[in-house]
Structure 1
Amino acid sequence: MPVHETHHGNPPHGRIEDKVAVITGAANGMGRATAERFAAEGARLVLADLDGEKLGAFVEEIGAGGSDVVGVRGDVSSEADVQFLMCEAVRHFGRIDILIANAGIIPEADLASATVDLWDHTMAVDGRGMFLSCKYAAAEMVKAGKGAIVCLSSISAFAGQKGQAVYGPAKFVASGLTKHLAIDLADKGVRVNAVAPGTIDTPAVAQLGKEGIEKVISMHPLGRMGKPEEVASAILFLASDEASFITGAVLPVDGGYLAQ
C-alpha cells in the first residue's frame, strides 16, 4: 500500500496546533473540508482514503500550503489496512491525538430493492470501518492517557427516511458506537463524540439531481443544504480542548432537521 511523501512546514497557530490527527475518507466532501480546516489550525495530518490518486493530489496541495501531512491509501473495512494506517501515523509523528472517523458510503435503497450484498458492504464500510478505526486509534491514545475521537453519524441515525433501509441503520451503528466507546474510554482519558450532519452539499448529494436536491432542502428549516466547512467547524470544536468536558455527545449539524 503506497504512502505519499511527507511534507514539512510551519503551519499557523491554532486550536489544535501540533496535534496529530488521523482523518479517514479525507479526499472528498466533509473529510476533505475537515483536513483543510485542521491544517489551517496547525494540526499534523495523516489523511486516508480508498482513492489513492485523489488522495495523493490532495496531500500535495496541503503540503504545499505548509502543513506536515502524510497520505495513506487504504480500505477502512480491512483490519490490516486500518492497522497499517495507525502504525504509519505513529511512525511518522510518534502518536495519535485525534481521530476523525469519516470514511463511509451513502447508498440509497428501500427494503425491496436492497440486496444482502449491499447491506453487507455498507455495514463493512460504515460500521466495521468505524469500529476498526476507533479500535486501533484508541489503542495508541490510551498509551498516552489522552485523545479525542469524532465519528461521522447522520440525521439518518435519528429520523426514519424513505430510501434509507441500509444507510440509516449503518449510521445507528455510528451513534451507538460513539456513546458506548465514550463510556468505555472515559477513565482512560479518551473522549468520543460524533456529529450528525443533515444534507450537506457534497458530490454524493449532487447525484440526487435538481428535483431530489430541492426535496431535501425543503426538509431543512433553515432552507438550504449545509456546507462541508460547517460540519468541519463542529468537528474541530469536538476534537479540540474547547470540548474537554464533552464525551458521548452526538451533535446535529442539520439546519434544524431533527428539531421538527
Structure 2
Amino acid sequence: MEFTGKVALVTGAGTGNGEAIAERLLAGDSSVGLVGRRLEPIMAVCKKIDPVGDRTLAIEADVRDPAAMQSAVRHIVERFGRLDLAVNNAGITGPAGTPVQSLEIEIWKEVIETDLTGIFYSMKYEIPAMLENGSGAIVNMSSANGVVGLAGMAAYTAAKHGIIGLTRSAALELAESNVRVCAVAPGYIATPRIVKSGKDVTDWMASTHPMKRLATREEVADLVAYLLSDRAAFITGSVHSIDGGYTAQ
C-alpha cells in the first residue's frame, strides 16, 4: 500500500490509460481525483473502482481551460485536504497521415492546446499545492513519438516532444523542493479505443514494436505508480519509455 495517506489527481481518467492509472493508485491506497472533459465517464469509472465513493472524486474539467484546472485542484484539496501526486494524461492524437502543409490550423491548435498547453495549465496549479505540503510527484504522459519523429502527425509529435521539455524544465526548477517531475513515453497500448479500431490496425501497431505486441494498460499504470512512489525518490527530470523496443530501433 505504497500510497497510504496520499492524494492523487489524474487527468483524462474517463477511459484508457487514465482509468487504469486511477485504479492502480486507488489500489495503492491513495485517494484520487479523476478529471475529465465529460462528467459521465468519470463518474462511471469512480463507481467501478470505488463503489462506496469514499476515496474518489469525479471532476468535470477541460485541461485547455486554466480556470477549470485551478478549480479542479482546489476541489481535490478541499475534499481530501492535500495534493501529493498528479498524472497529467489527458490528450488527443489528431488526424494521421496529414503532412505539415496540409494540416488545418484549427486542428494544430486543438492538439497543442490539449496535449501540451493542457499539461502546463495542470502543472501550474498542481505544483503550488504540492509545495504547500513540502513534497510531491508528477508524471506527464508523453509518447514514444515524443522521442522520435512520426510522419503525418506533426501536431501530436510536436506536443509530445514539448511535454518532455516542459517536464525537464520543471524538474530542474523543483529539484531542491522535494517535488519530482518525470515523463512516461509509451508505445501503442491496448486501450479500448485502439482495440475497437480492428485487428488489422492492432496487428500493424504490434508489428512496429520489436516485442511484437501492444502494451497493456496495467503495464503502463505500474510504471507510473513506481515513478510516483517513494521507491523512485532519486528519479526526476527523466523520460521513461515503455514501448517494446520501438525507440531502440
Q: TM-score, normalised by structure 2?
A: 0.95
In the alignment, is residue 190 of structure 1 matched against residue 179 of structure 2?
A: yes
The alpha-carbon deviation at position 202 of structure 1 amounts to 1.3
Question: Is the contact made by 1:48 and 1:73 (CA closer than 8 Å) also made in structure 2?
Answer: yes
The alpha-carbon deviation at position 161 of structure 1 amounts to 1.8
- Aligned residue in 2 for 1:230: 219
- Aligned residue in 2 for 1:99: 86
Matches within 5 A, 1:150-161: 150-161=139-150
- Aligned residue in 2 for 1:30: 17
Question: Is the contact made by 2:209 and 2:246 (CA closer than 8 Å) also made in structure 1?
Answer: yes
In the alignment, is residue 213 of structure 1 matched against residue 229 of structure 2?
A: no
In the alignment, is residue 179 of structure 1 matched against residue 186 of structure 2?
A: no
Q: Deviations over 1:184-232 (max 9, x none)?
A: 1111111000110000011332354433322221110111000111000
In the alignment, is residue 16 of structure 1 matched against residue 3 of structure 2?
A: yes
- Aligned residue in 2 for 1:69: 56
In the aligned structure 2, how far is the partner of 1:64 from the partner of 1:185?
36
Question: Is the contact made by 1:126 and 1:170 (CA closer than 8 Å) also made in structure 2?
Answer: yes
- Aligned residue in 2 for 1:130: 119
Q: Which secondary structure does the structure 2 equivalent of 1:32 belong to?
A: helix
Question: Is the contact made by 2:47 and 2:53 (CA closer than 8 Å) also made in structure 1?
Answer: no
* Greater Cα offset, 103-112 or 30-39: 103-112
Q: CA RMSD in A?
A: 1.4
The alpha-carbon deviation at position 95 of structure 1 amounts to 0.9
The alpha-carbon deviation at position 175 of structure 1 amounts to 0.8
Q: Which secondary structure does the structure 2 equivalent of 1:64 belong to?
A: coil
- Aligned residue in 1 for 2:34: 47
Q: Which secondary structure does the structure 1 equivalent of 2:202 belong to?
A: helix
Matched letter for residue 56 of structure 2? V
* Greater Cα offset, 52-61 or 21-30: 52-61
In the aligned structure 2, how far is the partner of 1:198 from the partner of 1:15?
26
Question: Is the contact made by 1:42 and 1:67 (CA closer than 8 Å) also made in structure 2?
Answer: no
- Picking from 220, 236, 242, the partner of 1:253 is 242
Q: Which secondary structure does the structure 1 equivalent of 2:50 belong to?
A: helix
- Picking from 169, 176, 187, the partner of 2:158 is 169
- Picking from 189, 197, 200, the partner of 1:200 is 189
Where in structure 1 are there 5+ consecutive unaligned residues? 1-13
- Aligned residue in 1 for 2:44: 57
Where in structure 2 are there 5+ consecutive unaligned residues? none
In the alignment, is residue 240 of structure 1 matched against residue 229 of structure 2?
A: yes
In the alignment, is residue 84 of structure 1 matched against residue 74 of structure 2?
A: no
- Picking from 95, 106, 119, the partner of 2:108 is 119
In the aligned structure 1, how far is the partner of 2:131 from the partner of 2:39?
30
Overall identity of the aligned pairs, in %: 39
Question: Is the contact made by 1:156 and 1:164 (CA closer than 8 Å) also made in structure 2?
Answer: no
Question: Is the contact made by 1:39 and 1:67 (CA closer than 8 Å) also made in structure 2?
Answer: no
Q: Which secondary structure does the structure 1 equivalent of 2:131 belong to?
A: helix
- Aligned residue in 2 for 1:6: none
* Greater Cα offset, 96-105 or 208-217: 208-217
Q: Which secondary structure does the structure 2 equivalent of 1:166 belong to?
A: helix
The alpha-carbon deviation at position 18 of structure 1 amounts to 1.8
Matched letter for residue 90 of structure 1? V
Question: Is the contact made by 2:46 and 2:53 (CA closer than 8 Å) also made in structure 1?
Answer: no
The alpha-carbon deviation at position 74 of structure 1 amounts to 0.8
The alpha-carbon deviation at position 56 of structure 1 amounts to 1.1
Matched letter for residue 8 of structure 2? A
In the aligned structure 2, how far is the partner of 1:164 from the partner of 1:213?
18
Aligned length: 247
